[in-house]
Amino acid sequence: MVVPEAPPAHRVIDREWRVVVAGQRRDVARRYVTENPATELALAEVPDCTPEDVAHAVAAAQAAQVAWARTAPRERARHLRRFATALREHREELAAIDALDGGFPISSMRLDVDAAAEYVEVMCDLALGLGGRTIPASGQHLHYTLQQPYGVVARIVPYNHPLFFAASKIAAPLVAGNTVVLKAPEQAPLSALRIAEIADQVLPPGLLTVITGHGPDSGRALVRHPVVRRIAFIGSEQTGRSIQRDAAETGVKDVTLELGGKNAMIVLPDADPVRVAAGAVAGMNFTATMGQSCGSTSRLLVHRDLADEVLEHVRALVGRIRVGEPLAEETEMGPLITRAHYDRVLGAIDTARGDGAEIVTGGGRPEGAGERGWFVAPTVLAGVARDSALARTEVFGPVLSVMTFDGVDEAVGIANGVDYGLTAAVWTENVGAAHSLAARLDAGYVWINGSSRHFWGVPFGGFKNSGIGREDSLEELVSFSQTKAVNVLLPD
């Protein structure tokens, strides 16, 4: 593959990376090396924060939070809007950092910057939604509620949208009057560190601290810190459970989790096979994240009468996906994040073949990828047994499983027969059938005749092992506040 002319991010990456705490660059005792997943070469040295570093960050955040909590919500929003503007000003730089550090196509990462800035502005728009209410609990006295911040919030974000999650997911807690200590993904931490530097230029000092670390030490220290009473995590079910345990051992804390999914797209026999195929490929998120997305509709359940036609269209669309160097403008799909994940995804494909699944396309390294980089071709498997590991376990990679059904009840049973319930999709021209089926699915976010797209303002979150809490909406903003009831006893 030909590497294009280096964008500005190369100059930014070739530097010393440090943690910014309350406007000061902090030296840490330990460091670790990140890797470019497209080349397997070392990329940068970043701080490996110890529990002592985390305690310093929390103390600074706690000190800054007092004045920030007294700031009116619309004034907080004014500060955050400046941050959104700054993100747009650094669009090319931030996109290129994620392309190098995470292997994501630069064209998609530009869109992530745009989405992050817009998301911040949406939370600013919702600022007055933090108002309380009056309650007619008695005929004489005054009863009302206030929404007040928790204090220091821990945000722990994943590697599949490093810039987007780091930039956007600080907005709700900050607008609500908290300060934030954000744990960046260890596999792709650079854009989060750069965001902290940008925030330091436009936000009051101490509102945001980004910590990095290799392994669980820094994240666990943050979760277990006694000052941190509100924790929000996006990532795997296994890590989410660990966070719940750590939080429970050190206090009574409010923990929300947006976890994995094994999401079903159900296609009824009256659906348009061409539109279905396009929706299935988009819903799998092959491009942009290489299928490394918890919301991907990775199980395509097609009525038997339509299955062959849909599968042929899917095969053609997937075969046209351009896999390549993340900095190339024409690239639609890059490498997976690490060697360990690359091996895990290929192992899942091999296991599925052993269980009787048929590879329709992909199944290994893509042609022309060379020998370096953690590239896996976009893969479609048909004939997947509903009780197989592939049908029940999240792969978190570019692997679409295709299954058939004969009746709606059978389709619902397959869709709901897993431990997850994050997203789902229904394809049909029958409006009544669509609404009925959506109501029966154990999923927190359902598309009808669509997939993949999020709509800011619509609550996003999962059922069952896919998580607790809702994001992308007023519900997210309010969740970073506590309700206080005040009763004013008036004289007769």
**So which residues are the catalytic ones?**
258, 294
Amino acid at 260: G
For residues 230 and 162, is the Cβ–Cβ distance under 8 A?
A: no
DSSP single-letter state for residue 381: E
> How far apart, in whole angstroms, are the C-alpha atoms of residue 278 and residue 422?
21
> How far apart, in whole angstroms, are the C-alpha atoms of residue 255 and residue 268?
38
Amino acid at 367: E
CA dihedral of residues 393, 457, 160, 365 (deg, nearest 10): 70
The size of the chain, in residues, is 492
DSSP structure string for 455-474: -TTS-B--EETTEES-BSSH
**Exposure b/e, 153-177, CB count within 10 A at least 16 = b:** bbbbbbbbbbbbbbbbbbbbbbbbb
Sequence-distant (6+) residues with CB within 8 A of 483 are 132, 145, 146, 147
Helix, strand and coil in the chain, % to nearest 5: 40, 20, 40
